[in-house]
Structure 1
Amino acid sequence: MPKELTRLYPEDIARLDPTPMPGWDGVEQRLLARDPDNGSVTARVDVRAGAAVETASSEGWRETFVLAGALLLDGRSFAAGAYLCRPPGEGEQAVAAEEGAVVLQLREVNGALDKPAVALTAEEVDALPWTQKPDGTPGQAFEKILTRGPSGSFARVLRLDGVTPGVALHTYDEDCLVLAGACRVGDETHVAGTYTFNPAGTPHGPFAFIEPLRCVEFANHPPEATTAADSET
């Protein structure tokens, strides 16, 4: 079965047992969501200073967003706010800097994905333009697209303020982590550090923003996805 609808608040994630990543000394992970059929996972990964973590693999896609500290790769530093997307291919390792690193990582076994490979430092992400989110409230919803494939799968940083009317419904699976700010969804309050996995076709919202909110999203069309348009109604 695919990953199920998941919502974890910061205190929930803190209570998850960290487990060593087999074959990677000094690397622990907390599993946030998992597909028991194909082994795809989303995890918070803690990397000790000087330890290496896999950022590309022949086994499937790797998406990595740096939350704290920094990773060193090919002479470049990927600090908090950096993003890497790697399709299946040759293995690649990044080494944590002296302060270590904490990352959100998606390890996806999905042959239908088609995102281009990118490696964006935090400075390069900062330099990307904010553009109006096409289906968002004018002047209140902006996005930075980090990568996008022909199928419509993408990764982005969102900046949201005000109220988004109606309910969002997408044809893609969505991993979302709140980076800053807070919003209410029904009776729940999502603060920085809240993680949500919304499977394709799962309604969610409306959202009322307590503080301007910023989040990172990995949006991936499942192999059986239809071509129906994503919407907020």
Structure 2
Amino acid sequence: MATSTDFNMDFSKQVVIDSNLLEWQSSPASGVERKLLAREHAESGHATSIVRYMPGASFSRHEHPFGEEIFVLDGVFSDETGDYGAGTYIRNPPGTGHAPFSEHGCTLFVKLHQFNPHDTQTVRVDTRNTPWLPGQGNLQVMPLHDFETEHTALVKWPVGEVFQPHRHFGGEEILVLSGCFKDEHGSYPAGSWMRSPHMSQHHPFVEEETVILVKVGHLPLTM
């Protein structure tokens, strides 16, 4: 398994990972495991991971000098600010810290050290109690956060939906939450993570209802 620095840190290249095929790796905290998707340094800097807390696991208090973004995939994630069930979207801005734990266990999608330094908004969205909005075509969209060119949302694709070919200014990052997302390059089942560079292009579609977590406009325009 990859444990070195600079893992998937070339933002000019597309990365596609089926996280279901990765093995869990230990973390500095007992009972907390992770699947690495991208990482700058061993235990600091830019990182994108799937993280699993076993029942009763906890992390000692730590700071996030460049922010932390979390989507709770299953279970209940907790810290001193509250308990956050599956489907909760969390943003802890630069300079914040916490002591997270999970009483009964949980799985998270976590992004560290990736905030614009001027983005100081704390966000908590329970997506299971937030209405969907109409998107392009027959898509439904649930906006989660916007800052300058960066936009994060859930997108629900109905059965048989085909989207127009398009380019990604500032790149695109997708985590498939349910169903199977597809484009002319391949099929991506639930648990797949994709990062596509600035001005990349594809022609996406689905055959079954599919929900994806999408972030656009946040990657470097040049390398």
Q: Which TM-score applies when normalising by structure 2? A: 0.81
Q: What's the counterpart of residue 142 of structure 1?
A: 140
User: Quick one: which of 198, 201, 207 aligns to 1:200?
Assistant: 198
Q: What's the counterpart of residue 212 of structure 1?
A: 209
Q: What's the counterpart of residue 69 of structure 1?
A: 75
* Aligned: 1:31 with 2:36: yes
Q: What's the counterpart of residue 169 of structure 1?
A: 167
8 Å contact from structure 1 (residues 50, 96) kept in 2? yes
In the superposition, relative to structure 1, how do residues 102 and 152 fare at CA in structure 2: closer, same or farther (>3 Å)?
A: same
CA distance in 1, matches of 2:22, 2:188: 18
Q: Deviations over 1:86-109 (max 9, x none)?
A: 1111311221122x1110001134
Q: CA deviation at 1:55?
A: 9.5
Letter of the structure 2 residue corresponding to residue 59 of structure 1: P
CA distance in 2, matches of 1:200, 1:14: 26
Q: CA deviation at 1:18?
A: 2.6
Q: CA deviation at 1:154?
A: 2.6
* Aligned: 1:132 with 2:129: no
Q: What's the counterpart of residue 154 of structure 2?
A: 157
In the superposition, relative to structure 1, how do residues 78 and 129 fare at CA in structure 2: closer, same or farther (>3 Å)?
A: same
Q: Structure 1 vs Structure 2: percent identity of aligned residues?
A: 22
In the superposition, relative to structure 1, how do residues 2 and 184 fare at CA in structure 2: closer, same or farther (>3 Å)?
A: closer
* Aligned: 1:8 with 2:13: no
Q: What's the counterpart of residue 221 of structure 1?
A: 218
User: Quick one: which of 104, 112, 120 aligns to 1:107?
Assistant: 112
In the superposition, relative to structure 1, how do residues 186 and 56 fare at CA in structure 2: closer, same or farther (>3 Å)?
A: farther
Letter of the structure 2 residue corresponding to residue 172 of structure 1: G
Q: Size of the alignment, in residue pairs?
A: 210
CA distance in 2, matches of 1:20, 1:58: 20
Q: CA RMSD in A?
A: 2.6
CA distance in 1, matches of 2:207, 2:174: 18
CA distance in 1, matches of 2:120, 2:197: 19
8 Å contact from structure 1 (residues 63, 105) kept in 2? yes
CA distance in 2, matches of 1:110, 1:84: 13
Letter of the structure 1 residue corresponding to residue 197 of structure 2: P
The runs of 5 or more residues in structure 2 that have no matched partner are 1-8
Match of 1:126, SS state, is: helix
In the superposition, relative to structure 1, how do residues 200 and 116 fare at CA in structure 2: closer, same or farther (>3 Å)?
A: farther
CA distance in 2, matches of 1:80, 1:105: 14
Higher mean C-alpha deviation, range 68-77 or range 215-224: 215-224
Letter of the structure 2 residue corresponding to residue 45 of structure 1: V
Match of 1:95, SS state, is: coil
